[in-house]
A and B are shown apart, each in its own frame.
Chain A
Amino acid sequence: MKKTIAFVTLISGLLAIGAPADAKEIRIGLITPLSGDVKTFGESVRNAFDIAVSEANAAGGVAGMKIVPVVVDDRNDPTEAANAANLLINQHRVKAIVGSVTSKTTIPVSDVAQTYRIPTITGTATNPKVTVADGRRKDYMFRACYTDSFQGTVMAKFSRETLKAKAAAVLYDASNDYSKGIAEVFRNTFARLGGRVVSYESYGKDDVDFSALLTKIKAAKADVLFLPDYYNKVGLIAKQVSEKGLRVTLVGPDGWDSPELVKVAGKAIEGGYFSNHYSPEDTRPEVVNWVKKYRARHGKTPDALASLGYDASNLLFDAIRKAGSDDPAKIRKALATIKGFKGVTGRFTIDKNGDPIKSAVIIRIENGKQKFLRVVNP
């Protein structure tokens, strides 16, 4: 036993020598899918994180410390994401994490971060379980986006009141927390507003044939079809919707936000509506500046994921500045008390659950392009 202790002490002594002793650096991890089914999401967030880090370092770092970024790919796989969080915390010794991108990967990340007490902020994971699970607040978790319940409510209201839909159908991925969460809120809100949900059906992650469900929805005579999923699956479903001759308006959440959607779905997605976090057509100075910066560096217009990734990174850096230290507990405290932070995607005030209170925008797909329709306040 004594020998073991001596050995452990020796090893930790060696590790301490090997670890970055320079107090002028702070390691910050980024977990993001750089390959797999939502690759464009991950790349946008990485680009945004890069810009935020180089800006902060150019301005002399945060609280006198230079940021050393460590980026890990999670392939949008929950197991990979948990591994990535463990790797960042235990091997790279990061003091804070930005990530991950989707809810199904961020929920496992949140459990790891909570265990090791490392403040983590996701730009884009909208499922409520990211910050609160079973009524328990995960106090080291924060996010820069609104939650699914807000998104589901906004789109249900929009379908019922603006599109004047009487009957809605919902088709969701039963294996995806994000998809399931929004579907439930949409169904409840739509029914509460006096609409009928005529069809509420699910599919599995690997399904590619939706003909049985779409035939069923056609027979149920729905006016709108709500598709809470990511662009790849939505594109595939939209194509089959038009092949089956359904006449419905397609409506969805922020998972639609990718140039790939129009590539996969083509004409089938025309006239669809989805809720998003921001629009590059907005004229606030924060948005105009950001769009210019991103275009100059990456040669394209930033999507909502990039903008949220940028806001999440800056919220974290702001908290480190306020904390004036690389102590994870102090950073966490500073994050929890952010008020009126002016970001690209709106004004941030973090509530008691670590979620921001902010507005949404609705986008329409016209001629294969995203067209800004309106802002919806909470």
Chain B
Amino acid sequence: MDYFLQQTINGLQIGFVYALIALGYTMVYGVVRLINFAHGDVFMVGAFIGLYAIDRGRLPLPVVFAAAIVGCALLAVVIERVAYRPLRDAPKIAVLITAIGVSFFLEYFTSLNQVFGPNYYSFPRPFEVVSWEIGEVTVTNIQAIIFAVTLSCLVALQYVVYRTKAGKAMRAVSHDHVAAGLMGVNVNLVITFTFGLGAALAGAGGVLYGIAYPQVNTFMGFVPGLKAFTAAVLGGIGSIPGAVLGALIMGQAETMTSAYLSSTYRDGIAFLILILVLLWRPTGIMGSPRADKV
């Protein structure tokens, strides 16, 4: 029982990390209908900003988070302006391929010696790790911070999207951006805001990830990005609680497969669950079906 409980907590940690990234994917998709493949790499940039802020700047933790959040938001706004906006009316596939291109660009450009460099860097922990033993189960302060940050981001997002004017504009653009524009919504501004907000989450996620797994490199965003994207699809892409739910299911599926079967099957089982859920509900667990307008 203790074993099960401990593995559940392990799974929650991975799940919440995926959730932070998945939230960014799902938000951008919800508003712009774009799978932003560069999201995982923005997350990587967040981790590096965190690294520099802690290692060189010796800044206090809240300032480190603020720096990563602002840095990533700015980066995403630039990416949107330069790479995606010119393709707003182009076929979906063109934008998708551009997103993959941006992703590669970020990975390889930042791995140049003049930028972050191609090596693995150890991420200095801004605080000591404390483990609490509750019976046979260990919980660390890092896990507690990850749970707290992800849950507050989820609540804050829900608030922004459903309770503020900006959120109302986002939902309007999501529903029909032409009509929203005709009603006086500044569509470009809303889209920029959405990208910035999603990237801010990725920035916070990058710093958290660096603290939890203290090693960073410029290709670190690829795998978590892919897993988080899968989680977002599983939960129903476009749905905010869906992204978190999908990420938690992914985290548990991976952990439990490693715990009770074999680590070799881990990714296989996680993706099998994805396929089964999509067969049963093509829009994901909490996704809403949307009729394509012809």
Contacts and interface: CB of A to CB of B under 8 A. Distances in A.
Interface of A: 35-37, 39, 75, 174, 201-204, 206-209, 211-213, 215-216, 219, 232, 235-236, 239, 243-245, 260, 263-264
Given A209-B213, A263-B122, A244 B138 contact: yes
B157 to A, nearest CB: 24
Contacts of A207: 223
Contacts of A239: 214
Given A202-B264, A244-B138, A264-B122, A235 B259 contact: no
Contacts of B264: 174, 202
Contact of B3 (A215, A232, A244, A260): A215
A236 B263 contact: no
Nearest to A232: B120
Nearest 7 A/B pairs, CB to CB: A35-B118, A208-B213, A212-B258, A211-B10, A212-B255, A206-B223, A201-B263
B158 interface: no
Interface in B137-155: 138, 140
Nearest to B133: A245
Contact of A264 (B133, B214, B217): B214
Nearest to A205: B223
Given A35-B119, A212-B10, A236 B215 contact: yes
Contacts, number: 82
Given A206-B223, A209-B14, A215-B7, A235 B119 contact: no
Contacts of A203: 263
Most chain A Cβ neighbours within 10 Å, of B14, B119, B264 = B119
A216 B215 contact: no
A36 B119 CA distance: 5
Interface in B107-129: 111, 113, 117-120, 122, 129
Most chain A Cβ neighbours within 10 Å, of B10, B222, B223 = B10
Nearest to A239: B214
A204 to B, nearest CB: 7
Contacts of A212: 7, 10-11, 254-256, 258-259, 263
Interface residues of B, number: 37
Contact of A215 (B10, B113, B120, B220): B10
B213 A264 contact: no
B131 A211 contact: no
Given A35-B117, A212-B10, A212-B258, 11 more contacts: A35-B113, A39-B118, A204-B267, A206-B219, A209-B213, A211-B13, A212-B256, A215-B6, A216-B258, A236-B214, A244-B131
14 contacts: A35-B117, A39-B120, A202-B263, A204-B267, A206-B222, A207-B223, A209-B10, A211-B13, A211-B255, A212-B11, A215-B7, A216-B7, A244-B138, A245-B138
Most chain B Cβ neighbours within 10 Å, of A174, A216, A219, A264 = A216
A235 B215 contact: yes
Contacts of A260: 122
A189 to B, nearest CB: 22
Contacts of A264: 122, 214-215
Contacts of A204: 267
Contacts of A243: 129, 131, 138, 140
Contacts of A174: 264
Nearest to B223: A206
Nearest to B267: A204
Contacts of B119: 35-37, 39
Nearest to A263: B122
Contacts of A263: 122
B130 to A, nearest CB: 10
Most chain B Cβ neighbours within 10 Å, of A203, A212, A232, A243 = A212
Most chain B Cβ neighbours within 10 Å, of A202, A204, A215, A232 = A215
Nearest to B119: A39
Contacts of A75: 118
Contacts of B118: 35-36, 39, 75
Contacts of B138: 243-245
Contacts of B6: 215
A202 B257 CA distance: 12
Nearest to B216: A208
Given A209-B14, A245-B131, A245-B138, A201 B215 contact: no
A216 B219 CA distance: 29
A245 B122 CA distance: 22
A245 B223 CA distance: 27
A236 B214 CA distance: 7
Contacts of B133: 245
Contacts of B120: 36-37, 39, 232
Most chain B Cβ neighbours within 10 Å, of A204, A208, A243, A264 = A208
A221 B15 CA distance: 27
A211 B8 CA distance: 11
Interface string B7-37: 1001101100000000000000000000000
Contacts of B258: 201, 212-213, 216
B218 to A, nearest CB: 10
